[in-house]
Amino acid sequence: MVLGLVQLQLPVVETPEQVASQTQRIVDMVGKARRSYPGMDLVVFPEYALHGLSMSTADELMVSLDGPEVAAFKAACVEHKIWGCFSIMEKNPEGNPYNTGIIIDDQGELKLYYRKYHPWIPVEAWEPGNMGIPVITGPKGVKLALIICHDGMFPEMARECAYKGAEVMLRTAGYTAPIRHSWQITNQANAFQNLMVTASVCLCGSDGTFDSMGEAMVCNFDGTVMVQGGSRPDEIVCAEIRPDLIREAREHWAVENNIYQLYHRGYVAVKGGAQDCPYTFMHDMVNGQFQLPWEDKVVYTDGQSCGFAAPTRTYVGNVPNLLTPQERAADAKE
């Protein structure tokens, strides 16, 4: 599978007219991707590609799945016979908007729909995601997952993607330069710890206030960097993914097959390994008792430092439609 990561110029979007203009710009970049790389299967746009970094939650700027923006993205994928990954800030009648990522196939069908689990708090006011982390069969039969920006700083996110069968994890972002080092090491670690390719891209350039860093990068399943972009806006960084090698590593690696060993630790000493859950934080999260030793000393616990009012609603999440291990295994064989 050939994918392209678009280091899209950071836009200024403050009006509905600018949303429409930026929609057309993204559509035009889909065309550029196809012309530049005739063999490309999937083109990936960064987080905030449509909305910029204003962090505005104004209703007139928000987008719906059935709105004209997503319709334009679908039409572009059909016209250019390519899969596309896009970012929208999604209207939410029940509260703050969602930071949403979608993947559309070359027939214009919505194949993946994900709401960002971990907003970049206290800076971002988006509602936390409540639909699980989907994994789909993408171009050339490659299993794809999508996470968004700050999600990638949590190793549990990448582990969940791989556990559900993802061979390639996309990470779209709007990060600025101070995050560069953390961006690179987490992209590499997420790949190696899960024997999974990570393909990650940020916005690029300046909007007159913020400077996004670009830094598109594809990391192989052993953690090495296959290709990496710099800070040139609108550059499309391209890579070829070999899912057969990912599958081979997951089946044949021994000492560094860490995602397998997580639940089969010490299998040389005991039959099948220790199949327990020895981690205190996991038990505490499940039981609603997660509490850090320094919990009472944490300074920032809401968004008031960034100009947002203290929230009054309690989180109520939907129950995600999770597959059983048997259902996931059957799906992986398709």
Catalytically active residues are: 47, 116, 149
- Give the H/E segment covering residue 21: helix 16-36
Strands 168-173, 197-202: pairing kind = parallel
Closest to 67 (Cα-Cα) out of 52, 50, 79, 49 = 50
* Integer Cα distance of 102 and 263 in angstroms: 32
Q: What is the DSSP letter of 13?
A: -
**Residues 202, 7 contacting (CB under 8 angstroms):** yes
**Residues 175, 149 contacting (CB under 8 angstroms):** yes
Q: Give 227-294 as a DSSP string.
A: EE--S-TTEEEEEE--HHHHHHHHHH--TT-HHHHTTSBTTTTSTT-B-S---HHHHHHHTT----TT
Strands 168-173, 211-213: pairing kind = unpaired
Q: Give 58-122 as a DSSP string.
A: -GGG-B-TTSHHHHHHHHHHHHHT-EEEEEEEE--TTSSPEEEEEEE-TTS-EEEEEE-SS--TT
Please count the other Cβ atoms lying within 10 Å of the Cβ belonging to residue 218. Answer: 25
